[in-house]
Structure 1
């Protein structure tokens, strides 16, 4: 029985070890880079961490002129730009939601459907659209060093469009 168990362990363990080793070596042999893996922007370190130790003026100059900027600097500038535009979107949405919430009180009192849940659902759908669109644009580049610049620039562009749409709907 002992010999049988040892033989069974070898039969199972050897392929498992081999598969594990091959999976580990795959990432080394194929030369995986930061540009060849999936990216989750929600887990990205804020650009302020990248620029820590630099003054606002230094960051503004680097991001506006691109002078002496590395690819990582430009990507961080693109991320910073998106973060600022995203903050603008949030400050645009808050008063709209407050207005809808206020209007919903009257609608509800008259037994009419309320608007805020639909606005919130639309905003979630828009975020999903934006994210998917920008991932598609980015991943279509393959392993390009412009990958993160492209992603953050896309996020900023589509978010600016959303702000514009929300403001025009307000008028």
Structure 2
């Protein structure tokens, strides 16, 4: 009976050892793999259970903040500025569509398709720029902070551009 147990244990161990070494030998961490920001869980989920005031304090001061906290604060900043951009885009699109009706009636080219193409090109530029800045760090714990800070920075610049272009 003892020999059967030893033999079974040895068989199980032989099956598990390659699995254990494969998973640990690969050395992959959350900082060494690609990610898709569009699949990211909203920062509100990360901060669930904290009051708005607590989150504001943590994000503004960084007091007692972990790396994950700071990354979530960076993501939150992006989400806030992106919401403003979406509102601005909607307002501009409505204006273009209204103006396009007059242009079309006078048999002139319309603007809204070009605005849409420009916005799509800008999104592609922003995403590529931020992934490049982030992945250039390699396997760094500040990877997500860098990514969300880049997204917020470039989105803020876009919002400023759209504000000044319409003035």
Is TM-score (shorter-chain normalized) higher than 0.5? Answer: yes
Instruction: Note the C-alpha offset of 1:28.
Output: 2.9
Does 2:157 match 1:156? no
SS at match of 2:138: coil
How many pairs were matched up? 151
In 2, Cα distance between the equivalents of 1:105 and 1:28? 62
Deviations 1:98-155 (A, max 9, x none): 1100000011111111100110110000000000000000000000000000000000
The equivalences for 1:53-132 within 5 A come to 53-132=49-128
Secondary structure at the counterpart of residue 144 of structure 1: coil
| Structure 1 segments (4+ residues) deviating >2 Å | 22-28
Question: What's the CA shift string for 1:70-93, capped at 9, x where partnerless?
Answer: 000000000000000000101111
- Which runs of 5 or more residues in structure 2 are unaligned? 1-17
CA positional deviation for 1:25? 5.7
Aligned CA RMSD, in angstroms, stands at 1.7
Higher mean displacement: 103-112 or 78-87: 103-112
Whole-angstrom CA distance in 2 between matches of 1:32 and 1:121? 38
Which runs of 5 or more residues in structure 1 are unaligned? 1-21
1:138 aligned to which of 131, 134, 138: 134
Q: Which residue of 2 aligns with 1:47?
A: 43
